[in-house]
Amino acid sequence: MEDFEIVGRIIRDYPDALSERKKLQALFLDFFPQDRLKRNTLLMVYDDGIVNEMKGLAQMDRMVMHRFVKSVEQGYGIRSKNAESAVLTWAQAMGLLPDHGSSGAGCSVQEKVLAEEESVKEWTAVESDSLYEYEEMSWGIRILRYMDFDESVVVIPNVIEGKKVIAVWNHAFKGCSGIEKIIVSEGIEILGNGAFLNCKGLREVELPGTLKRIGTTDPAGCPAILGGMTKFDGAFEYTALESIKVPDRVKYIGEHAFAGCGELKKVTLPRELKEIQKNAFRWCRSLEEVVFPQELEVIRLSAFEGCESMSTIELPEGVKSIEEGAFAGCRNLQSIYIPDSVTEIGGGKGSGFLQTFGEPEERREEFTILCNAGSYAMRYARAQQIRCAPRMYG
């Protein structure tokens, strides 16, 4: 049986699998037990929101196909042929390619649409007189280093010497303390680890709607600590940002992304973000308001540790896990609403000594967990001797 026939059978026989990632992952493990690469790439297409977008299509043309392939290739850093194979499998399984995606005469989908792609204007070209060190990849240019003197406002171009800029790579602007505002041009999709690390004068950033990732899984240039573990530098770690609205296309925000941003007061996260990575907002001492995404499932280790200006938190329905230290050191936190969907508080891969909401002496005396009777949150509160109360609906 062909791969697309297997995926088609899953869609037909287990329709709820497309709305429940864990079930889909388990089914892929059952049907492709020996092929980890295939399982992972198929899940990447799903996680990137492409499968959901495919549901609304009657048929898929070459340009749409190529856009999906590029999205997976660039967003997850995998080889083009693997991304193309996974997208084709889903498209065939959902009946969007009547000829089952035959590319004919050994010609790939990407090669077929190359001429068409050149004629499509996805965004307005923005070039720059500033100096950059850059590297040309198969999918576009990534900026490696800003080589010019600091200006108060820097516009990062989406075109350099006629070629598209896709990424601002690891540590590209590290230590540029004189920059106060950065405008990232439309068309750029990735901001690497430590891209703006220690830009201590950076108070404002405009992010493009095309952005997909803040931080990567590439450890290049990030320090090894604690016996070999890698500490991924945050893209905006130790900057002076005062507020940030992350575009809705962003599916991944890396570890330490905004850690140490002492002036940050308000954060709006993208609607479909599923995980807040560890230490993402650690020691953001001025942080008062977080607009959490409705699709959020996990808050990782120490994600908001030391955010001592937060007073109330309302987690969205659907959150499943709050790891240890997630809200430790939030000394002024008065209440947090924890929905019934949460079934784990305090898990994770930390030392095991860090309380999720800090030590008793760190908390306000009136700190309260708001929850429903009989919920896991209530049982946790009782076990930890934390006050709990019903949520009051306005």
For the beta sheet containing 181-184, the strands, ordered from the edge strand earlier in sequence to the opposite edge, are 153-156, 181-184, 204-206
- Structure confidence at residue 74 (pLDDT): 79
As a whole number, the mean pLDDT across the chain is: 89
Cβ 301 vs Cβ 325: under 8 Å: yes
- Structure confidence at residue 239 (pLDDT): 98
73 or 246, which is more confident? Answer: 246
At 393, the pLDDT band (50, 70, 90 cuts) reads low
- Structure confidence at residue 78 (pLDDT): 79
- Structure confidence at residue 256 (pLDDT): 97
Chain segment 152-176, per-residue pLDDT in tens: 999 999 999 989 999 999 999 999 9
56 or 50, which is more confident? Answer: 50
At 117, the pLDDT band (50, 70, 90 cuts) reads very low
What is the C-alpha separation between 282 and 347, in angstroms, rounded? 18
Cβ 278 vs Cβ 301: under 8 Å: yes
- Among 109-113, 182-186, 287-291, 345-349, the least confident range: 109-113
Residues paired with 2 in a beta bridge: none
Mean per-residue pLDDT, 133-143: 91
Chain segment 326-384, per-residue pLDDT in tens: 999 999 999 999 999 999 999 877 766 789 999 999 899 999 999 999 999 999 999 99
- Structure confidence at residue 350 (pLDDT): 73
Question: Checking phi first, is residue 215 left (phi over 0); if not, alpha (psi -120 to 50) or beta?
Answer: left
Does residue 77 have a pLDDT over 80? no
Mean per-residue pLDDT, 322-326: 96
At 121, the pLDDT band (50, 70, 90 cuts) reads very low
Alpha carbons within 13 angstroms on the beta-carbon side of residue 96 total 21
Does residue 104 have a pLDDT over 60? no
Does residue 93 have a pLDDT over 80? yes
Expressed in angstroms, the distance from the first to the final Cα of the chain is: 55
Q: What torsion do the CA atoms of 79, 85, 91, 94 make, to the nearest 10 degrees?
A: -120
At 52, the pLDDT band (50, 70, 90 cuts) reads confident
Quick one: what percent of the chain has pLDDT higher than 90? 68
At 394, the pLDDT band (50, 70, 90 cuts) reads low
Contacts of residue 97, defined as CB under 8 A and 6 or more positions apart, other chains included, come to 59, 60, 88, 91
What is the C-alpha separation between 13 and 304, in angstroms, rounded? 41
- Structure confidence at residue 351 (pLDDT): 67
What is the C-alpha separation between 387 and 366, in angstroms, rounded? 7
